[in-house]
Amino acid sequence: MENKTVSTLLKIAMVSTLFSLFFAFGFNHPVAENSDAGQYDTIGWNLANGNGFSFSHSLPYEPTMFREPAYPVFLAIIYKVFGHNIAFVQIFQMIIFSLTCLLIYVLALNIFDKKIAKYAAFATALCPTLANYPSYILSETLFTFILCLSILSLTLAVKLKKNVLFAVSGILVGAAALCKTVMLLFIFPVLIGIIILNRDKLNFLKKTIIYCAFFILPFLIIVSMWSFRNHAVCGTYKISLRGGLEIWQMSQKLDNSVKEIKYDIAYNFSEFLGNKLFPEAAENPRDVILSGTKKSMEKEDELRRQGLTPANIDKKMLEEAIPKIFKKPVKYLSYIFIESIKMTAFIYVPILNESYVIEKFNGLKKGPLILSSIRGIFRFSAYPFLALALVGMFFASRSWRNWYFIVGVIIYINLIYSMLFAMGRYAVPLIPFYSIFASIGLLKLLGKEGC
């Protein structure tokens, strides 16, 4: 490896580490018991202490499958070695974030060139959203790393036509599915990609079958281990129990009036804008955004009081949701579009949503306006970023076969979440991929070489 390349990689690692250090140790990151972070933390600590995969804080440690296993296992390993110290989780997540930036460099280098790779890696390292997430007990940092590693592995597998790389890809996509259940169906875009990207004209059918087999078998082995566990413990082969809840939540929106739809669009686009346009909607803007979540949780509690198990609750909510969606397909499709808008709200700084930070701004003259303005700047910065990415895709369109898996995962994740329940946080793992194409777009518009 050239000295210049080594120097670039070291700079990328240093910038990403320093930026994430600023967020991790420059601010407080309380872990609320009933929050996503609190649930992950509890399961991880229980696993570390041999109490099983459970939310419980005491005996009998009732098993759960509400959360996917990959991230709690990651936490359990850290807690087992270093004790229940969140600082060590933050340190390891900062390392993972730096590795993700380096992976983006390698991925872009293998598809395009050094200049694009450098721009994309630094854009990833300097993204405040990605740099802030290592501070939290949340799965985004780990999932982003696994996702980037999966796409790199798939890209190299097709490029080099190595069976072992297809097998590694199967393992990695399986691990991604055990981190975020949404990745389960990603095997279909992958299999389609393997078929259309296989250029071996002489042994096309044979080679394609072999490549697909080497990918799918490790994937099924990885996923089935947790699936069989859930069947033995909870009576279902599902990876987690949030699918029914999210589909039910989406189906309830089909009863919304025109006015409620306007509220939903405005507040999810911008809390500040929504509050200005429709102040009568709610005293707290978050109440509008989380109204669907509140309804689904109330429904879940109602079914729990009826004595239904978690698996049966998920099944019951799914059975209620599907017929409702089929009765109003046009309205459902329109809501998919609305949900897709939420997936563009991926550039933000999580620390600005902390209650103690909000309280500090509220204590300042025009503090709420200042805070909203800062959030708005980050929120709207996603649009020129996406525009640059689209420009980059256009200029790189001739080599689409080389970046099929990148665009494949971008389309897949945006589409799946838009069909279920979307929020900007779900698009955060896609930022490194957007950075690659945005770098191409920027370089082309500046008249520099690239692509």
Q: Which helix (H) or strand (E) holds 378?
A: helix 367-395
Residue 57 per-residue DSSP state: S
**Calpha distance 264→422 (Å, rounded):** 12
Q: Which helix (H) or strand (E) holds 443?
A: helix 431-445
- Residue 344: phi, psi to the nearest 5? -90, -5
The 3-state DSSP class for residue 69 equals coil
Kindly state the tokens that stand for 172.
Answer: 């990695």
320-372: pLDDT as tens digits: 999 999 999 988 988 898 889 889 999 999 999 998 999 999 999 889 889 98
- Residue 404: phi, psi to the nearest 5? -55, -45
- Across-strand partners of 54? 63
**Calpha distance 290→116 (Å, rounded):** 39
Query: How do the domains of the chain map onto residue ranges?
Result: 3-240+343-445
**Calpha distance 423→269 (Å, rounded):** 10
Look at the chain and count its residues: 451
- Does the bond joining 30 to the residue before it have cis omega, within 30 degrees of 0? no
170-221: pLDDT as tens digits: 999 999 999 999 999 999 999 999 999 998 777 899 999 999 999 999 999 9
What is the reported pLDDT for 1?
64
What is the reported pLDDT for 449?
64
What is the reported pLDDT for 450?
59
What is the reported pLDDT for 411?
97
Residue type, 408: G
Among candidate residues 181, 83, 74, the one with its CA nearest the CA of residue 137: 74
CA 150, 96, 77, 238 dihedral sign is negative
CA 224, 40, 36, 133 dihedral sign is negative
Instruction: Find out whether 143 and 180 touch, Cβ atoms under 8 Å.
Output: yes
What is the reported pLDDT for 444?
93
End-to-end CA distance of the chain: 21
**Calpha distance 63→404 (Å, rounded):** 40
Task: Compute the radius of gyration of the chain from its Cα atoms.
Answer: 22
Among candidate residues 43, 193, 142, the one with its CA nearest the CA of residue 429: 142
**Calpha distance 357→370 (Å, rounded):** 12
2-28: pLDDT as tens digits: 778 899 999 999 999 999 999 999 998
pLDDT, tens digit only, all 451 positions of the chain: 677 889 999 999 999 999 999 999 999 888 887 889 999 999 999 999 999 999 998 899 999 998 999 999 999 999 999 999 999 999 999 999 999 999 999 999 999 999 999 999 999 999 999 999 999 999 999 999 999 999 999 999 999 999 999 999 999 999 999 999 999 999 999 999 999 999 877 789 999 999 999 999 999 999 999 999 999 998 889 998 877 888 888 888 888 888 888 888 787 777 777 887 888 877 777 777 777 778 888 888 898 899 888 888 888 999 999 999 999 998 898 889 888 988 999 999 999 999 899 999 999 988 988 998 899 899 999 999 999 999 999 999 999 999 999 999 999 999 999 998 888 999 999 999 999 999 999 999 998 765 5
Q: Which helix (H) or strand (E) holds 252?
A: helix 243-252
Residue 306 per-residue DSSP state: T
Instruction: Find out whether 167 and 214 touch, Cβ atoms under 8 Å.
Output: yes
What is the reported pLDDT for 209?
95
